[in-house]
Amino acid sequence: MAEYCVTGGTGFIAAYLVKSLLEKGCFVRTTVRDPGDAEKVGFLMELAGAKERLKIMKADLTEDGSFDEAIQGVIGVFHTASPVLATLIDPCIKGTLNVLRSCSKASSVKRVVLTSSCSSIRYRFDVQKQQITSLDESHWSDPEYCKRYNVLFYAYAKTVAEKEAWRVAKETGMDLVVVNPSFVVGPLLAPHPTSTLLLILAIVKGQV
């Protein structure tokens, strides 16, 4: 059975990917920053099939080559790991490049799926001025627009990271698929909410 790598296994979307792949009978490697943190990663080993087919491996977006071992030998990579706080720009952009470089080094990898965001599409001056209403894959958020409104650091980082990912994919002939979710909500698999959900909660509570 095929083996896949899911980056950032403690994350909200990643945990569902790991669960779903295990349910299909696949072998799964997932990366976390601290595999020794039982409180944070323990729930992953409780998923059905995890004890037989899940490996939890250490990798950090900010360390070059950190994902090589987790990616070497797998046929598909789901790259979901991403910070969401104000310090995210470098880890998001360089981290995406870091993961894609590991993918291009691994001849086993047939397809890479990157979770970008609708934030990389919709922040544009022409949308704000209502000159454009319908957006598709030809539209990109404008980094200058994101920089003008300081709260859009996340959109800036996701836009630049996705553009870089497409550049690398073109240069290396990689089969890249990008998904651009808006708000992903639902029951948590992890015991505690992770960064994206904390951000959404803060919006609901009117704190940001």
Give residues in contact with ligand NAP (CB under 6 A): 8, 10-14, 32-33, 40, 60-62, 80-84, 91, 115, 117, 181, 183-184, 194-196
Least separation in angstroms between CB 159 and ligand NAP: 12
Count Cα atoms within 13 angstroms, Cβ side, for 83.
17
Q: Which one, 65 or 181, has the nearer CB to ligand NAP?
A: 181
Alpha-carbon distance of 177 to 61, in angstroms, equals: 20
Least separation in angstroms between CB 68 and ligand NAP: 14
Q: Which one, 81 or 106, has the nearer CB to ligand NAP?
A: 81
The number of angstroms, rounded, from the C-alpha of 117 to the middle of its chain's C-alpha atoms is 9
Q: Which one, 81 or 109, has the nearer CB to ligand NAP?
A: 81
Alpha carbon distance, N-terminus to C-terminus of the chain: 45
Least separation in angstroms between CB 179 and ligand NAP: 8
Least separation in angstroms between CB 4 and ligand NAP: 16
Q: Which one, 18 or 174, has the nearer CB to ligand NAP?
A: 18
Residue closest to ligand NAP (Cβ):
11
